[in-house]
A and B are shown apart, each in its own frame.
Chain A
Amino acid sequence: MNTTALPGTPGKLAAQSRWAVETHGLTKRFGANTAVNGVELLVPRGSAFGYLGPNGAGKTTLIRVLLGLTHADAGTMSLLGYPVPRHRDAALTRTGAIVDEPRFHGHLTGRQNLRLLAAARELAARDRIGPVLERVGLAHRADDRVSTYSMGMRQRLGVAACLLGDPQLLILDEPMNGLDPAGIAEMRDMILSLVAEGRTVVLSSHLLDEVERTCDAVAIVDRGSIIRQGPISELLAGAPVALQVECSEPGRARALLAGTTLGARIEAASAALGLEITLPGGTGRHVIAEINRVLVAGGISVYRLQPVQASLESWFLQVTSRLGDPE
């Protein structure tokens, strides 16, 4: 393994670091396949950070490398300021994680599984078993065998296991999997409450709508590499805006707009009740007013003009290689 630890005293570094997760050139290969390819990731402390990518993009592999579940082939990384793998034990002391589907000993109860995990943590972890079970809403089933739990309950138990160490950093891999809509909403609220307490939550998910609702910032990973990262608001600010136009004569409206200087900046597509115009990212509000003026001046009755900001999902689909446009 060619990974090198970041220099410095671990405790001092941990206190000084503004990043909960920091990687530089992190690489993990499985034979000829490079699952994690020179990843540069910076996750700010105290944020909800989404880690997005299509299936097979290397999301879970990166998480496994960060947590020391498998080794890296190259690069440096730190968690909560502690270089890993050199100070892995210190880094993981205040880190909780769910990786893949949360699985437990089915013959033990939820509480007993947590006792098993708490015993591997500090003494105080044992005292947190009851409170974390309450927090994830499993207290009433805590003494039932895990084999009788639903997928959603196992997800909650996984979160409870994460919270045993009173973590500053939680890494949750697809935590919404298997949850019903109510469960998803509860999980979202829980994540937000954890972030509100000042913890950092790294959320790997393919449920882009949930990530958009939950996270402050995201990184998009594709084919092992991060292709975009930053606050969601900034990422989407550069995305195209769809302008829905409902008017009396859509065909003539399209021709009118094409004949103006705006024509070079808009793409109009016929919609059922009018036009849908795609405005490039960064287009000002004055362009919308100009479109309205052109249509009215041309004798077309405008019933509705509605700009629709691109969603994270549509933006994600645009930037990932599955649609053939990685950059």
Chain B
Amino acid sequence: MTTMPAGHSAPVPDRALQTAPADRSRDRRGSPIPTVGMIATRVMELRKRRGLMIAVVVATIGFPALFLLIRLLLHAFAPRTSPPAGGYDIFKVLVAGFLPTFGFIVAATVGCTAGSRDLTEGMFRHLVVTGRSRLALYLARIPGGLAIVVPLVAIGYAIVCAVSVFAAPTFIDSNVNIPPGLSRVGFENWARDRAEPVICSLPYNGHIPGNIACAGPPPWSKSAVTPGQPAPAKLEALAIKIASQDYSGYTSIFRYPSNSLMIKAGLWIELDAAVGFILGLGLASLMGQRTSPIILIIVFQIILTPILTGVAIPHLQGLQRSFVGLAMAHLEPSGLPMFFGLPGVTGGSGGPGAALLPESAAEAICVIIAWLAGWTILGAWRMMTRDA
């Protein structure tokens, strides 16, 4: 046989292209830093996932918007039986309970999708064959995914803030038009000036003298913003007493969140979503699939976090303090209560920090940074070592 033994050279055809290598001076393909184009196409890849985007929009914007819309409509059609849609209470319920929980899970879902779909849909090897650094391919997913998650969470939160502020109660439906935003002293002074309407309208857990007649069309109805009729000192004292007793209810009904609280809570929710995204991205990259990491993260968020942050387990408190949920709970703005389902869920009440394992803010920040860095390193390492 005249066949060439394996390993011997074959002749070079005449038409061989002996071109010099392409100019690579401006092609930093081995750089770990992703290009703007890579990030932009990652955004496109996620944005075009119709099912995922519908789910994300519904969870982050649709649910709170629908909830508030129903409250707005109910209040518009039945103001006496349905409380106003906004106010501080509603803000607290949505911002301390719903938004962080759903925002975290939604962000983690987007992260899991970003971290696994190239692999499961066969694009990973196409991308690797481009010669681009695998680290750059991984890092491009972070801004790409956050560019989806952060604005959507922000929109949902902005809707909650807007309704909480602009649809906050401005009067009590029992015929007394009380201005919002009064301090305790201001509220008592306001009550003193409108003693009779206050005595007849506001709830009071005490004895009201029988000689005060509240029957019939109230002459003060809807006009109580104007100074009321002078009343005997005894009635004024009673009105002040009622106002003092009702002040906590007044604040919860009438107050809307302050600007600083809204800013702090917004940043906290966005940080929470970013943690969820990075966790999902890293875990999905590590496992090479989407569904299992999502289930694990939901279990982690809904079940494990409340237990590990609220129950002091002997000899394991150091480990418990390393959980990101506890750290996030410690960074929660002070105007928000602890609710179930929070990152840092305690199940307790009585204000921020109640029933939480103790941890300083610096420790909490370190834990969060460690989680962000740790999951990014794990995900990137797996992507760099994985067979494509």
- Chain A residues with a Cβ under 8 A of chain B: 11, 14-15, 18-19, 40, 42-47, 64, 67-70, 80-82, 88-97, 99-108, 112-113, 115-123, 126, 161, 165-166, 168, 195-200, 216-217, 219, 225-231, 234-235, 237-239, 281-282
Contacts and interface: CB of A to CB of B under 8 A. Distances in A.
Contacts of B8: 42, 229-230
A120 B127 contact: yes
B38 to A, nearest CB: 5
Interface in B13-63: 13, 15-22, 24, 26-27, 29-30, 35, 37-38, 40-41, 44-45, 48-50
Contacts of A237: 2
B130 A227 contact: no
B122 interface: yes
B213 interface: no
Contacts of A81: 21
Contact of A230 (B3, B24, B35): B3
A286 B381 CA distance: 67
A229 B7 CA distance: 8
Contact of A231 (B10, B44, B126, B132): B10
A114 to B, nearest CB: 10
B4 A230 contact: yes
B117 A105 contact: yes
A166 B15 CA distance: 18
B126 to A, nearest CB: 6
Given A11-B21, A44-B10, A197-B17, A104 B123 contact: yes
B137 interface: yes
Interface residues of B, number: 52
13 contacts: A11-B21, A70-B388, A99-B125, A107-B50, A116-B44, A116-B45, A116-B123, A117-B127, A119-B41, A197-B17, A200-B17, A219-B6, A282-B2
A18 B16 contact: yes
Nearest to A126: B37
Contacts of A112: 44-45, 48
B12 interface: yes
Given A42-B10, A168-B17, A238-B1, A116 B41 contact: yes
B11 interface: yes
A89 B16 contact: no
Interface class of chain B by DSSP: loop
Nearest to B128: A69
Interface in B126-151: 126-133, 137
Nearest to A84: B131
Interface in B347-388: 387-388
Contacts of A282: 2
B129 A104 contact: no
A198 B128 CA distance: 25
A168 B19 CA distance: 8
Given A96-B129, A199-B17, A226-B7, A108 B22 contact: no
A69 B126 contact: no
B3 A106 contact: no
A92 B16 CA distance: 19
B41 A115 contact: yes
A69 B129 contact: yes
Nearest to B1: A238
Contacts of A14: 20-21
Contacts of A116: 41, 44-45, 123, 127
B130 to A, nearest CB: 4
